[in-house]
Structures are given as C-alpha cells and as structure tokens.
Amino acid sequence: MPALTERAVGVVGAGPALASLLRWVRPTFALAGDARPALDIGYFANVIPVAPNLGIAIGTDGVGTKLLIAQAAGRFDTVGIDCVAMNVNDVLCVGARPVALVDYVAVEEPTAALLDGIGRGLARGCELAGISCPGGELAQVREMLRGARPGSAIDLVGTAIGTVALDRIIAGQDVRAGDVLIGLESAGLHSNGYTLARRALLERGRLALEDHVAELGCTLADELLRPTRIYVPAVLPLLEAGLSIRALAHITGDGLFNIVRTVRPIGLEIERWPEVPPIFRLIQRLGDIPDTEMYRAFNMGIGFTLVIAPEDADRVSAALAGDGVRAHVLGRVVDDPARTIHFRPGRLVGRDGGFTRA
C-alpha cells in the first residue's frame, strides 16, 4: 500500500505560481513533531494526529465569485450555506466526520441586513451538516474590496474540522481496478465556475438576474444563488457502517479531475452520466462553450463521488436510495499511472487537467 504521505496530484492548472508557495509551506510539516500532517498538500483536506489513532481533519475554502451574484441581487441568505458546504464536503473526503466550522467575513460596509443574511445561511448550513460554528472573524476592509454594487462587497471563507481514526483515513490509497464509481447529484452550479457562468449568461447572453428563465423554471438569480448541496447526511452513515469506500471526491473547480486526486494513481472509465441540469445547457449555449471546457470547469450535475469495492456497490446504492439521495453508477476504476479519464458519454479523454475529443 502506498504511504499516505506520497505526493498528491496537486491543484490542476496552478503551475509554477503554486509551487512558489508550496516550497515554503511543505517544510513546515517537519516542525510539528508528532503532529506532522498525515497527507501531503493537494487532497481535499489534511489530517493532523492529536492522540493515539485520532486525527483532526482540517480544510479551508471560500465561496468565490458567486458572491458577486449575491451582491448584485442584494441577497445573502444562501451563501453562508455554500461556505459550510464547500468545507464540510472537503473534510468528508478524507473519511472524517465534520464537527465545526469557523468563518472569516470581510466586508466593505458591515450592515445589519448583510450580516443577518450571512448568519442565517451559516446557521442553516451548520444544521444540515450537524456541526457548530463556535467562532469566526469579521473584518471591515473597505479599501481592499470592490463589489457589484457600492458598499455591498464581501468575501466569505470558512475553515472546517472533523475527526477521523488515523487507520481509517481515506485518500485513495486502496483503490484498485474494477472498483465502482458512484456519483451523487448536485443542486446546480454549487460554488464553482461562476466567472465563466457570469460571462456566458450576463455578458454574452445579456440576461438579467431578475429575468424569469422558462427552461430553469425560476429567475436567474434564484438559480445562481441555489446553495451547494451538503453531502454529510448521505455519506457519513456509509462511512460509519464500515463499507469498503476507497475514495471520495467533492466535485468542485477542476470538474471530473477531482475524482483522480488519489494517493494511488488511477484512471476512470465513465460509461454513463445522468441528464445534465438545464443551467449547464443554458451556460453552454449562450456562452458557446465546448464540452471539453464544460466538463473541466463545472460539476455538470454530479457534486460528489464515491469509489466503492464491487462487493459493496449494491449496498451503497441501496442505502443512498433509501435516504432519498439520487445516486448513479457512473463507471469503474482502471489502472493508469497517467490518471486518464475516458468520458464515454461525451466522447472525451481527460489527461493533465484538460479534455480533448476522443
């Protein structure tokens, strides 16, 4: 079995800029003594040993340019859910049970309406994830922020922690050819690809946030502010049941390439995919965006995946269906040191962070 500290895939597309940061950060691992991180940088979260066979999983993420939509619409009651979701879903990916999240809110102007909306969303996200928000930081930095409307600019970031037994860390170290890939449906865009989405919908498509879009069945603002799905209630019982879950992936900004962020190099044969939600078809049509870019930048209707040993795949599917979670068997794992993704439904081949036509 590969060591858990074997170098991770890293962040797709970051290149030399990220390397400039990591050359300073990685050496700090040795400073922690017995609390040296169990994983390399590049997974969804890391795990810090704190006691015999006990680790604290930790991850941090923000809401990104989805906040520009919230600012333009003057609606802040859902982005707190996004902040929680982006973090707890990542912590879940190393096999941990999320337990708490602290937030960092930077604002141009700290109005009561804005902070009430942020707080409302954070509370709802914590409720859905079964965690607490024991603290955070509010900073007024008007010189640093400019948003969609004067005085409305914010940035919202969270850091989540969870607990995991050190001998139960999941980082794809045990995946093998023939394992089954199961995907859980997303609630839409979640919190990634919004720069591309805004260009397609608002700039090229000349839609307005208040427009009712027939194919979406709601206003554009309603769709774009639909919060990221929190997968903790669906996945945590599977982990606690001791099923043979060999890798977990939160499908965020690198699209399908998130699935091959595993200790052991793997490839994927994706043989089927559910119907793509209307928002993605709208973005693709108005933005004239090729499939190769859509499946790199967006979740395309699948927000979380599990790699399961074949003998447990039916039990996992049945458990998810029993909880009302829409899950799909997407394909299987193959041995491939190059981590190639063969996406058969779209006749695409993914390698090194990009897709080409098969």
Q: How confident is the model at residue 12 (pLDDT cuts 50, 70, 90)?
A: very low
Residue at which a domain ends, from 140, 168, 196: 168
Please provide residue 285's backbone torsions phi and psi, each rounded to the nearest 5 degrees. -70, -50
Does residue 175 belong to any structural domain of this protein? no
Residue at which a domain ends, from 168, 191, 217: 168
Q: What pLDDT is stored for residue 312 in this prediction?
A: 95
Residues linked to residue 58 through DSSP beta bridges, in sequence order = 46, 161
- Helix-helix angle 232-240:79-92, to 10 degrees: 20
Cβ atoms of 316 and 330 within 8 Å: the answer is no
Is the same domain home to 216 and 338? yes
Does residue 31 belong to any structural domain of this protein? no
Does residue 237 belong to any structural domain of this protein? yes
Is the same domain home to 214 and 329? yes
How does the average pLDDT of the chain come out, rounded? 93
Is the same domain home to 146 and 187? no
Residue type for 227, please?
Answer: P
Q: Is the pLDDT at 14 greater than 70, yes or no?
A: no
Does residue 35 belong to any structural domain of this protein? no
Residues linked to residue 61 through DSSP beta bridges, in sequence order = 158
What does the alpha-carbon distance between residue 259 and residue 175 come to, in Å, rounded to a whole number?
12
What does the alpha-carbon distance between residue 347 and residue 156 come to, in Å, rounded to a whole number?
38
Residue at which a domain ends, from 146, 168, 190: 168
Cβ atoms of 149 and 70 within 8 Å: the answer is no
Is the same domain home to 230 and 293? yes
Beta strands in 242-319 (DSSP E): 245-250, 266-270, 302-308
How many domains in the chain? 2
Residues linked to residue 354 through DSSP beta bridges, in sequence order = 351
Is the same domain home to 82 and 121? yes
Is the same domain home to 233 and 253? yes
For CA atoms 137, 142, 144, 146, give the dihedral sign.
Answer: positive
Residue 254, token pair as written in the block: 């690198």
Q: How confident is the model at residue 325 (pLDDT cuts 50, 70, 90)?
A: confident
Is the same domain home to 289 and 142? no
- Look up the CATH number of the domain holding residue 82: 3.30.1330.10
Is the same domain home to 85 and 124? yes
- Look up the CATH number of the domain holding residue 203: 3.90.650.10
Reported as a single tens digit per residue, the pLDDT across 211-225 is 999 999 999 999 999
Does residue 346 belong to any structural domain of this protein? yes
Q: Is the pLDDT at 1 greater than 70, yes or no?
A: no
Q: Is the pLDDT at 3 greater than 80, yes or no?
A: no
Does residue 74 belong to any structural domain of this protein? yes
**Can you give the residue range of the structural domain that contains 314?**
180-357
Does residue 34 belong to any structural domain of this protein? no
Does residue 7 belong to any structural domain of this protein? no
Beta strands in the chain (DSSP E): 46-51, 54-62, 97-107, 132-140, 154-164, 180-185, 212-213, 218-219, 245-250, 266-270, 302-308, 327-335, 341-343, 348-351, 354-357
Reported as a single tens digit per residue, the pLDDT across 58-116 is 999 999 999 999 999 999 999 999 999 999 999 999 999 999 999 999 999 999 999 99
Is the same domain home to 222 and 340? yes
Reported as a single tens digit per residue, the pLDDT across 155-180 is 999 999 999 999 999 999 999 999 99
